[in-house]
Amino acid sequence: MVAKDEGVLAGLPFVEELFLMVGGVYVKPLKNEGSLFTEGEVLLEIEGRALEILSCERLALNLLQSLSGIATYTRSLVEALEGTNIKLLDTRKTTPGYRFFEKYAVRVGGGKNHRFALYDMVLIKDNHKRVAGGLKEAVKLVKEKVGPAYKIEVEVENLTEVEEALSEGVDIIMLDNFSPEGVKEAIKIVNGRVKVEVSGGINLENIKDYAVEGVDFISCGSVIHHAPWVDLSLRVL
């Protein structure tokens, strides 16, 4: 399997397991998971009958190309945050049925997983606030339902909601679609009392503008849904 691109390798364990399931195929990785590769490098060698190898060719390539693409784009965002204490998070904007793989690739690229599913923590978003009748009402309903068992994060849309979230004793405040200047104003209000996450339209072009002191997390759905696939090829020798 040869690289026709450069990037960060992700997905090797799944490809090895795939050929193991088929049986009679030996996979020899020539690069480590999470390592950088350049165009023209041989990433792994596969030995076995053509029938078994070619029956898995496309799935193996799809896994490595898509997951390496996510890991590569994630690595570029993480590198843009170097010199800060900000952690890069993914979101739950994932391909249906493919979340486990995509979130794994984010970790290989150096990012962190936000939530895998609804059971991990409570995130109160705009629609929740509207249904409940407001931010304060939504937080109170959640606390009545789950008590202290789960951390509560609230998505806020303006500085007034920042104040409201602080008054309700939430664990994390997400600044949604704030400008970099708005983030700075919100950080002054929070003043280190809770963790702060910044989200909404953040990508490789503008992430450094949001790397404001006092921000704990930056979350990007783009690490998954905007990551271009890495081009790889399987060649029979």
Kindly report the CATH number assigned to the domain that includes residue 180.
Answer: 3.20.20.70
Q: Which residue type sits at 218?
A: I
Say yes or no: 88 and 163 in one domain. Answer: yes
Q: How many CA atoms lie within 13 A of 205 on its CB side?
A: 2
Say yes or no: 213 and 103 in one domain. Answer: yes
> CA 58, 64, 69, 75: dihedral to nearest 10 degrees?
180
Q: Is 93 a catalytic residue?
A: yes
Q: How confident is the model at residue 212 (pLDDT cuts 50, 70, 90)?
A: very high
Contact by Cβ (8 Å): 150, 122: yes
Say yes or no: 118 and 21 in one domain. Answer: no
Angle at 52 between CA 58 and CA 22, to 5 degrees: 95
Say yes or no: 70 and 89 in one domain. Answer: no
Cα–Cα dist 131/3, whole Å = 50
Cα–Cα dist 218/90, whole Å = 9
How many distinct structural domains can be found in the chain?
A: 2
Say yes or no: 35 and 123 in one domain. Answer: no
Looking up residue 70, the CATH number of its domain turns out to be 3.90.1170.20
DSSP E strands: which ranges in 117-220? 122-124, 152-156, 172-176, 195-199, 217-219
Say yes or no: 157 and 73 in one domain. Answer: no
pTM: 0.94
Q: Which residues of 62-86 are buried (b: 16+ CB within 10 A; e: fewer)?
A: ebbbbbbbbbbbbbbbbebbeeeeb
* pLDDT for residue 148: 86
Q: What is the pLDDT of residues 51-69, one digit of tens each?
A: 999 999 999 999 999 999 9
Cα–Cα dist 15/220, whole Å = 27
Residue 139 phi, psi (nearest 5)? -65, -40
Structure tokens that stand for 161 in this block:
């909601």
- Given the residues 31, 87, 93, 151, the one annotated as active site: 93
Q: What is the pLDDT of residues 157-188, one digit of tens each?
A: 999 999 999 999 999 999 999 999 999 999 99
Q: Is 229 exposed, middle or buried (0-12, 13-18, 19+ CB in 10 A)?
A: middle
* pLDDT for residue 149: 86
* pLDDT for residue 29: 97
Boundaries of domain holding 202: 80-225
Q: Which residue type sits at 35?
A: S
Say yes or no: 22 and 40 in one domain. Answer: yes
